[in-house]
Amino acid sequence: MALPYARSIAEEHLYMRLHPCVCGSVAGTGIRHGTGVIAQGLTSDHEFVCKGCGAERRFVFRLPGLTPQYDDMYGGPDPSQIIDAGEWRMVALDAMGRAQLLRRQSTGVRKIFGRGDQKPQLRRAFEEALASYQEMLKFIPPAADTIPDSAFFTENGRRIRAQEPYVAFERSFIEAMIDGVRSDLAADG
């Protein structure tokens, strides 16, 4: 069986977050991480015990090289091979939801009672949303205006594709979302 190809450690961590234990937990204890070498190149190995049920979990990824350098959060100009376009949409929506909540909290009760600065978490949520929308664009072929059906290769991704309006996967809509998140970052981040 071929190992899943992760372009960055951030993509590995997101993949693990998107694949919770059968009990539903994504948290782990006793986390061990190592690297290895196989015929196809380097590997990244994560082992831990599920906090929810105590099950042992392991994820092994194939890596792009010794020290990949990318200008974006998740890695490289090519689309992900382990997280599909629908899942990126889900991550973007989740991050924007967190950002909106953090924005409300920063001007509400938490601010009044001095419960900490929400700006770093708010910035992180906007950055994750921005990166996720940018990842969606990578699935659109140069001459096309929308993400092709082949870019929805996971069960979650196909479910999200079926639930979301068609326009959510069009280039112009995704680019407008990117512009909106950039504006939010400039204003709040």
In a domain? residue 1:
no
Same domain for 112 and 170, yes or no, is yes
Same domain for 89 and 161, yes or no, is yes
In a domain? residue 14:
yes
Specify the residue for token string 């400039």: 186
**Which class for 80: exposed (0-12), middle (13-18), buried (19 or more C-beta within 10 A)?**
buried
Which pLDDT value is given to residue 64?
81
- Which structural domain, as residue segments, surrounds residue 111? 85-188
Q: For the residues of the chain, what is the DSSP string, one character each?
A: -PPPB-SSHHHHHHHHHHS--TTS---EEEEEEEEEEETTEEEEEEEEEETTT--EEEEEEE-S-SS---SSSS-SSSPPSSS-HHHHHHHHHHHHHHHHHHHHHHHSHHHHTT----HHHHHHHHHHHHHHHHHHHTTS-TT-SB--GGG--SHHHHHHHHHS-GGGGBHHHHHHHHHHHHHHHHHH-
Beta bridge pairs of residue 43: 36, 62
Q: What is the mean pLDDT of residues 56-65?
A: 90
Reported as a pLDDT band with limits 50, 70 and 90, residue 154 is very high
Listed residue (71, 179, 189) closest to 121, CA to CA: 189
In a domain? residue 73:
no
State the total domains in the chain.
2
Answer whether 0.85 is exceeded by the pTM: yes
Q: What is the mean pLDDT of residues 134-159?
A: 97
Which pLDDT value is given to residue 130?
96
In a domain? residue 77:
no
Same domain for 109 and 49, yes or no, is no
Same domain for 90 and 175, yes or no, is yes
Same domain for 58 and 89, yes or no, is no
In a domain? residue 72:
no
